[in-house]
Amino acid sequence: MSFLVDVQELKTGLIIFRRSDVKHCNWYCRVKVPKEDRYKTISLKTSDINEARDKAFDHDADIRFRVKHEVPVFEKSFSEVATEYSNHRNAVATSGQMTMDRWRVVDSHIRLHLIPYIGNIQITLVRQDQWRDYPLWRKQNGKGLRGGTTTDGTIRHEMITFRGIMKFAADKRYIQERQVPKGNLPSDKARREEFTLQEYRHLHTFARRWIKDAYREWNAWYRNMAYNFMLVMTNTGMRTMEAGNLRWRDVDTRTDKHGRTFVCLNVRGKGKFRELVAAHNVASYLDRIKAISKATKPDDFVFTTQEGKRAVSLYSSLIEDLLTKSSLLHSSSGSRRSTYCFRHTYATFRLMEGVDVYFLAKQMGTSVEMIEDYYGHITPAENAGRILQGIPGWEPIADGSGEPPDSVNAGGAKTKPAKPRTKK
């Protein structure tokens, strides 16, 4: 290169030089990366020749150490690593270990907030104070949904993504493990977007009309699937990714020692397997799905498209349409509901029936602390010890309309059973 002057070769693959295209007289070194046809140029930040030589040999030794221990030689910027992390999470979602909707949220955190905040500085230069100062920056430079103030809950989830990027960088050895930010996240005290009992009954009734109002046969098929998906989710507490991974071989109908029927589901998500139980009416919902599905073999997915392929979106647009038309898209607190609201509703109704927090946490594949943090506003009616307690005979309870509800939770959330009618 023509701008290299005063070139001195210290050893094979290592030179120091000055540059003619800059005003200062500081030295640079160029190191050949072992086993590669690549070079790394480093500013030595000194004009003293002896100091420059010492620093050049130090950098040469550092690069050889990195190559030997498989540590990246060329440092990446935060934006590069964040994009790489997003691509990795996309691959995880494609494999079914998380939902595509969740990946889209993570990707939006990165593109819209974290990259603008950190920028293109080297990932090794990201410090704890930048992690600590993010909430203040976010509230000063961004807006929440529908133009409102950014909530602590939103910032909390963005910082979880932030930490995830740094953990990913440490796993890739782009940074040291000690550089992964530590410290408490902002608390999220916002109420969840679960349905109240009255809202759920309204949704349940409206959904039946919604199916009948379908304008095409294929549209009625999808609405029917979305409806039964809603019932399964509200009566099992599954995560959406677990539902997406559910196959027919994972469904097992059993009876307990008293002869009562229940459904056992083997679900997987977040890289973990677990078992959950549901009342027998969930078997009815699954039978409805199987009756209209083209995918009914043991290895086939339960929730599919009309063609029998795996339903990647899990009917999210249909659920949004149902919630919008039933005027339930937003909760009373203003939170926008999604398919995840059915899991929240399950937890809420079970706690209202007095299910023990420990057993509910096991059923839902989460921690007791999470249950207490997110659903602490619910006062249990009694200290029960079984997942399905509060459901007499595990049968749906009439809701007073003359018809049994299609939901364990819809009926089970009642504080008193409906009185039987007597003939005059």
CATH code of residue 279: 1.10.443.10
User: Does residue 258 share a domain with residue 143?
Assistant: no
Residues in the chain: 424
Model pLDDT for residues 91-100, shown as the tens digit of each residue = 988 887 777 8
User: Does residue 309 share a domain with residue 251?
Assistant: yes
Q: Report if residue 137 sits inside a domain.
A: yes
Q: Report if residue 421 sits inside a domain.
A: no
More confident residue, 364 or 401: 364
Please give the pLDDT value at position 143.
60
Query: CA distances (Å), 248 to each of 210, 242, 252, 283, 302, in order?
Result: 27, 13, 9, 11, 6
Least confident of 13-27, 285-299, 407-421: 407-421
> What's the CA gap between 378 and 353, in Å, rounded?
10
Q: Report if residue 186 sits inside a domain.
A: no
What is the arithmetic mean of pLDDT over 11-22?
Answer: 92
Q: Give the whole-number percent of the chain exceeding pLDDT 90.
A: 47
Query: Angle 341-352/357-364 helices, nearest 10 degrees?
Result: 160
AA identity, residue 386: R
Least confident of 157-166, 245-254, 325-334, 387-396: 387-396
What is the arithmetic mean of pLDDT over 257-279?
Answer: 87
User: Does residue 222 share a domain with residue 91?
Assistant: no
> What's the CA gap between 4 and 14, in Å, rounded?
14
Query: With bands split at pLDDT 50, 70 and 90, how would you rate the model's confidence at 380?
Result: very low
Domain total in the chain: 3
Residue that terminates a domain, selected from 145, 179, 213: 179
Residues 6+ apart with CB under 8 A from 210: 223, 227, 322, 325, 326
> What's the CA gap between 19 and 1, in Å, rounded?
10
**Residue 190 burial (C-beta neighbours within 10 Å; 0-12, 13-18, 19+):** middle
User: Does residue 221 share a domain with residue 84?
Assistant: no
Domain carrying residue 88: 78-179
- DSSP, collapsed to helix, strand or coil, labels residue 273 as strand
* Residue in 346, 416, 421, 423 with CA at minimum distance from that of residue 388: 346
Residues 6+ apart with CB under 8 A from 337: 193, 323, 328, 329, 330, 331
User: Does residue 360 share a domain with residue 295?
Assistant: yes
What is the arithmetic mean of pLDDT over 265-274?
Answer: 83
Q: Does the pTM of the predicted model rise above 0.75? A: no
Query: With bands split at pLDDT 50, 70 and 90, how would you rate the model's confidence at 416?
Result: very low
Residue that terminates a domain, selected from 112, 144, 179: 179
32, pLDDT greater than 50: yes
232, pLDDT greater than 90: yes
Residue that terminates a domain, selected from 152, 179, 206: 179
> Which residue carries 């089970």 as its tokens?
412
Q: Report if residue 417 sits inside a domain.
A: no
352, pLDDT greater than 90: no
User: Does residue 287 share a domain with residue 362?
Assistant: yes
Chain centre distance of CA 244: 13
User: Does residue 232 share a domain with residue 296?
Assistant: yes
* Residue in 176, 144, 143, 183 with CA at minimum distance from that of residue 162: 183
What is the arithmetic mean of pLDDT over 181-195?
Answer: 71
81, pLDDT greater than 60: yes
Query: With bands split at pLDDT 50, 70 and 90, how would you rate the model's confidence at 189?
Result: low
Q: Report if residue 41 sits inside a domain.
A: yes
DSSP 336: B
Query: CA distances (Å), 96 to each of 5, 54, 102, 242, 397, in order?
Result: 56, 52, 11, 9, 36
> What's the CA gap between 181 and 188, in Å, rounded?
19
Least confident of 146-150, 214-218, 363-367, 386-390: 386-390
When the pLDDT of each residue in the chain is averaged and rounded to a whole number, the result is: 83
What is the arithmetic mean of pLDDT over 354-361?
Answer: 86
More confident residue, 6 or 380: 6
Q: Report if residue 418 sits inside a domain.
A: no
Query: With bands split at pLDDT 50, 70 and 90, how would you rate the model's confidence at 141?
Result: confident
- Provide the edge-to-edge strand list for the sheet that holds 261-269: 251-255, 261-269, 272-279
Query: With bands split at pLDDT 50, 70 and 90, how would you rate the model's confidence at 397?
Result: very low
* Residue in 99, 339, 306 with CA at minimum distance from that of residue 223: 306
Q: Report if residue 188 sits inside a domain.
A: no
Half-sphere exposure of 30 (CA within 13 A, CB side): 15
More confident residue, 173 or 278: 278
Question: How far apart, in Å, do the first and last CA atoms of the chain sit?
Answer: 105
User: Does residue 209 share a domain with residue 150?
Assistant: no
User: Does residue 377 share a domain with residue 301?
Assistant: yes
249, pLDDT greater than 70: yes
The pairing of strands 251-255 and 39-43 is unpaired
Model pLDDT for residues 52-76, shown as the tens digit of each residue = 999 999 999 998 988 887 777 777 8
> What's the CA gap between 193 and 183, in Å, rounded?
27
371, pLDDT greater than 90: no
Q: Give the whole-number percent of the chain exceeding pLDDT 70.
A: 84
DSSP 146: G
What is the arithmetic mean of pLDDT over 315-321?
Answer: 94
User: Does residue 397 share a domain with residue 367?
Assistant: yes
Q: Report if residue 191 sits inside a domain.
A: no
What is the arithmetic mean of pLDDT over 370-389?
Answer: 57
User: Does residue 37 share a domain with residue 88?
Assistant: no
AA identity, residue 97: Q
> What's the CA gap between 340 and 323, in Å, rounded?
13
Query: With bands split at pLDDT 50, 70 and 90, how would you rate the model's confidence at 332?
Result: confident
What is the arithmetic mean of pLDDT over 304-320?
Answer: 93
For residue 358, give the H/E element and its range: helix 357-364
Query: CA distances (Å), 32 to each of 11, 229, 377, in order?
Result: 11, 59, 62
User: Does residue 324 share a domain with residue 390?
Assistant: yes
AA identity, residue 38: R
